[in-house]
Structure 1
Amino acid sequence: MHVIETAKIPWSLVSKANRPGRVHRKLVHEGEVSPGVGYTADLVRYEGGHGTFTAPRHKHNFDQIRYTVSGQPDFGHYQVSAPGQSVFFPAGAAYGPETIEEAEILLIQWGEHWVSRAQHDETYAQMQKKGEFREGYYITVDADGEEHRADGRNAVWETFNQRELVYPTPRYPQPVIMEPEGFAWRSTGGGVSAKTLGRFTEDDVYVANYAWDKADGVLDLTAERTQLLWIIDGRLTVDDVVYEPGTVIFSEFGEKTALAGTADARAVVFGLPLPEPAAVA
């Protein structure tokens, strides 16, 4: 289990950015869900005013989930998220153009052939010697003076892996925004109620909100997968340690985590991909 109390971590300005706008982040965690399937989780803050974040319409070869803590990020084509909503972004599905101003988002991304944070930053620095990152693109000029543009993030992936990025066929045509207010609470037993907002893909990725109905309620995160919990309201206790809102709790594959909460506690849990049987064996 890993616990990250994000309120105690200072913000860092994203200096190696391939999108315009001032963005700050707190690295929450980075690792593997199973062999070859890496993930990273960040708390991201977008500045407003002159620092508005923008990105052209684009897509990735990995899946992601974004949980809106504050603000109203616009993901393009009338897909605007509100605080408390989770959004699943399928690999291969286009979204944007993005406009994000004065927002805070918990961002989780995962996929095969993952490029770690350190690998990204080293590759980014090398690429700046031959071109520049501007307006969401990586821009180079050939010997004839002709300008070439590629999506900035994807260009880093291709440079690091030394091969062309091939997008998967999207399982869903666009991002899926989940509105918790549209779901009913269902008791899980143990003094906790749940709203299962969605289950996605053959990897059984899930998103669920939980509410502690009484002070002695307990939520059990089981061992079959890695799960990430974000405390929305109230306090949760794990191994006799009390945690405040804004804390991220990772329950890793192979371990069980019991979370006791105050009567007003609320949390959202993201179940990351189930390992393939071969990876478990």
Structure 2
Amino acid sequence: MHVIETAKIPWSLVSKANRPGRVHRKLVHEGEVSPGVGYTADLVRYEGGHGTFTAPRHKHNFDQIRYTVSGKPDFGHYQVSSEGQSVFFPAGAAYGPETIEEAELLLIQWGEHWVSRAQHDETYAEMQKKGEFRDGYYITVGADGKEHRADGRNAVWETFNQLKLVYPTPRYPQPVIMEPEGFAWRSISKGVSAKTLGRFTEDDVYVANYRWDVADGVLDLTAERTQLLWIIDGRLTVGGVTYEPQTVIFSEFGETTALVGTADARAVVFGLPLPEPAPVS
């Protein structure tokens, strides 16, 4: 288990950015969901005005979930998220052009051939010696004097992995925005209710909101997968230590984490991909 009290972590300005705009970040955690499948979780704050973040319409070869802590991020084509909403971004599905200002998001990304934050920054610095990151693109000039453009994030991935990026066929044609207010609470254990907002892909990625209806209700995050919990309201106690809102609790694959809440505590949980089952002989 890993606990990150994000309110106690200072913001860092993202200096090696693939997109225009002033963006601040708190690295929450990174690691592997299963062998060969890495993930990164960040808390991201976007400025407004001249620091507004923009990105062209684009897609990735990895999945994402974004939870809107505050603001109204615009992901393009009339897809605007609001506070408390979660959004699943399928690998291979295009979105954008993005405009995000005065917003704060919890961002979780995962996929095969994952590039860690340190690997990204080192590769980015090397690429600047040969080209330029501008307006969301990586721009180089060929021997013919013509500009060549590639999506900035994807160009870093290709350079680091020395592989040609191939986009998968998207499982869904566009990001899926989940509205918790449209779901009913269902009791799942003594003192705890849930809203299961979505389960996605053959990896059974899930998003669920939880509410502690009475003090000392218990939610168990079980051992079959890595799960990330974000405290929205109230306080949760795990291992005898009590945590406040804006705390992230990672329950790793192979462990069970019991969370005891105060009355009316609320949290959102993101179930990362289940490990691939062993082939049937």
Is the TM-score greater than 0.5? yes
Structure 2 equivalent of residue 157 of structure 1 = 157
Report Cα offsets for 1:234-253 as digits up to 9, x if no partner.
00000110000000000000
**1:209-239 superposed Cα distances (whole Å, 9 cap, x missing partner):** 0000000200000000000000000000001
Is the Cα contact below 8 Å between 1:206 and 1:270 reproduced in 2? yes
1:163 Cα deviation (Å)? 1.8
Question: Residue 238 and residue 135 in structure 1: after superposition, are their counterparts in 2 closer, same or farther (change >3 A)?
Answer: same
Q: Distance in 2 between matches of 1:143 and 1:189?
A: 66
Shift of 1:278: 3.4
Structure 2 SS opposite 1:215? coil
Q: Give the conservation status (yes or no) of the 8 Å contact 1:138–1:150.
A: yes
Residue 133 of structure 1 deviates from its aligned partner by: 0.2
1:79 Cα shift?
A: 0.1
Q: If the length of structure 2 is used for normalisation, what is the TM-score?
A: 0.99
Q: What is the alpha-carbon distance in structure 1 between the residues aligned to residue 220 and residue 190 of structure 2?
A: 9
Unpaired runs of 5+ in structure 1? none
CA separation in 2, counterparts of 1:118 and 1:218?
A: 37
Report Cα offsets for 1:98-119 as digits up to 9, x if no partner: 0000000000000011011111
Tell me if structure 2 keeps the 8 A contact 1:2–1:250: yes
Q: Distance in 2 between matches of 1:233 and 1:280?
A: 44
Paired with 1:180 and 1:32, the residues of 2 have a C-alpha distance of: 28
C-alpha change, 1:234 and 1:170, in structure 2 (3 Å) is same
SS of residue matched to 2:21: coil
- Counterpart contact for 1:138–1:151, Cα < 8 Å: yes
CA RMSD of aligned residues (A): 1.3
- Please identify, of 42-51 and 138-147, the stretch whose mean Cα deviation from structure 2 is larger: 138-147
Work out the CA distance in 1 between the residues paired with 2:280 and 2:6: 31
**Is 1:34–1:279's contact at 8 Å kept on the other side of the alignment?**
no
1:212 matched to which residue of 2? 212
Matched-pair identity in %? 92
| Count of equivalent residues | 281
Which ranges of structure 2 fall in alignment gaps of 5 or more residues?
A: none
Contact residue 58 and residue 151 of structure 1 kept, 8 A: yes
Moved more, 127-136 or 269-278: 269-278
Task: Indicate the larger mover: 74-83 or 137-146.
Answer: 137-146
